[in-house]
Amino acid sequence: MLKMVRRWTCLEWRNEEESSVNCIFILSIKEELPDRYQVWVKLAKNLPTLVEEGQFREEAEQLPELSIDELQGYKEQRLAHLALSVITMGYVWQDRNVLPRNIAVPFWNLSEKLGLPPIMVYADCVLANWKKKDPLGSMTYDNMDTLFAFPGGDCSKGFFLVSLLVEKAAASAMKVIPDIFEAVKKKNSESLKESLQSVASSVYEAYKTFQLVHVYLFSLFCFSWKNCSLLPKGLIYEGVSEIPKEFAGGSAAQSSIMQCFDALLGIQHTTENDEKSAKYLEEMRNYMPSPHKIFLEAVASHSSVRDFVSSSDDIQLKKAYNECVKALVHIRNYHLQVVNKYIISPSSKQDSEKGQKSSDDEVKGTGGTNLLIFLRSVRDTTKRALLEES
Ligand SMILES: C[C@@H](C(=O)Nc1ccc(Cl)cc1)[C@H]1[C@@H]2C[C@@H](n3cnc4cc(F)c(F)cc43)C[C@@H]21
């Protein structure tokens, strides 16, 4: 198990220049596909212009139906999934409830190969959708851009890139996971304390990076066709099934790193009052790339960190564990603040201007869930995970 965790923590390393950043979940993909597939990238890149000119649907319907068999390797497959997810979004935005087979068949087959749903997920629009302007420069906001643009222009770009930078800041905690498991196995409190302190500082770094997001409005463009009034039965994937299929839209709950810390620290979202959130978090694991899902299961099945710390009489060790939990509570509190400020308040203001009653229950987040209640529930369960320091 430890070998698997060690292997996964270098699974998607960046190239050497970024070797300092152990980005298990972030993927530095190519910007191009082999010539025959470049039509997907080209159409996806031109989405904003073509949608504005009302040409997108026609261009999409003229795409050749391509087999996915000549996509070489994981990085090309992830770039192709990202490009097809953008094309699918654009096509559904043209008020279509049937995705033509020239898009639906390769998208469905590629999604199955990657263990992803045939819809845009967090791993597409955040973890894969980025490049450095100057390849030799560092991974800072000013030296980065998204591979594909979306309506909302700089807002959606900012939203995705800040999410990525939060992930990158937190990902530096990944490299200590094998040391944490080794310390628990060897009952080495000193080593465990050091590693937990390192995790806490990485999550605090992520919290500080998250505070950049006040600059960018939260984008709610992410489309869902599950419990969605525009596509009440879901989307028909022509050539795959005549029965419409429902899939949830992109969501923070699809952030593998968001769930990784809960798995590592043994924070269980299973109490009856957040059963709905626990089910949603579990469901969103099916919206993560297979290696991420397997990694989370490996961490959760292996992690007895909480049990070891709870049963220890080393107060400093309990404090180090609680520092990790407090850092998670901070980032989740901030997430709630930002959602309140950029989604709830504007939405309520908009509804009151239109004379409509709005309530939390009507607010839908980027994942088609009631984002506010979900985030509160996750934050409260995290708070309850604090250990007595006596
Ligand atoms: C800006 C936010 C967002 O909602 N991004 C988003 C949502 C949907 C889509 Cl489709 C695309 C982007 C980003 C979420 C996911 C990440 N996160 C949430 N809690 C976390 C706890 C951690 F410890 C941690 F390290 C990361 C954590 C960062 C913020």
The 10s digit of each residue's pLDDT in 182-208 is: 999 999 999 999 999 999 999 999 999
pLDDT tens per residue, range 364-380:
444 434 788 889 999 99
Pocket of ligand 1 from Cβ distances under 6 Å: 122, 125-126, 159-160, 162-163, 166, 170, 203, 206, 210, 213, 222, 250-252, 255, 257-258, 261, 328, 331-332, 335, 366
In the predicted model, is pLDDT for residue 264 greater than 60? yes
Top pLDDT among 342 and 289 is at 289
| Residue 46 in domain | yes
Calculate what percentage of the chain has a pLDDT beyond 90. Answer: 65
* Residue 35: strand, helix, or coil: helix
Q: Could you tell which of 163, 217, 338 is best to mutate to test the pocket of ligand 1, judged by most ligand atoms within 8 Å of the CB?
A: 163
| Residue 389 in domain | no
| Residue 204 in domain | yes
Top pLDDT among 256 and 230 is at 256
Predicted local confidence at residue 351, as pLDDT: 55
Ligand 1 centroid to Cα of residue 266, in Å, is 20
Q: Which residue do the tokens 């088609």 mark?
A: 368
| Residue 60 in domain | yes
Q: How much is the CA Rg of the chain, to the nearest whole Å?
A: 21
Predicted local confidence at residue 149, as pLDDT: 87
Ligand 1 atom nearest residue 159's Cα: 1
| Residue 388 in domain | no
Distance CA 239, CA 345 (A): 43
Ligand 1 centroid to Cα of residue 55, in Å, is 33
In the predicted model, is pLDDT for residue 15 greater than 50? no
Ligand 1 centroid to Cα of residue 122, in Å, is 9
| Residue 160 in domain | yes
Q: Is the pTM of this model over 0.80?
A: yes
Top pLDDT among 28 and 5 is at 28
Distance CA 122, CA 164 (A): 10
Predicted local confidence at residue 17, as pLDDT: 34
| Residue 33 in domain | yes
Structural domains of the chain, count = 1
| Residue 390 in domain | no
CA distances from 275 to 257, 281, 306, 374 (A): 21, 10, 21, 10
Ligand 1 centroid to Cα of residue 25, in Å, is 13
**What residues make up the domain containing 24?**
2-383
Report the CATH number at residue 258.
1.20.58.480
Beta bridge partners of 145: 131
Ligand 1 atom nearest residue 366's Cα: 8
- Stretch 206-233: mean pLDDT: 77
Q: Is 335 part of any known ligand binding site?
A: yes
Cβ within 8 Å of residue 89, ≥6 positions away: 47, 120, 150, 223
DSSP secondary structure letters along 234-250: -BEETTT-SS-B-B---
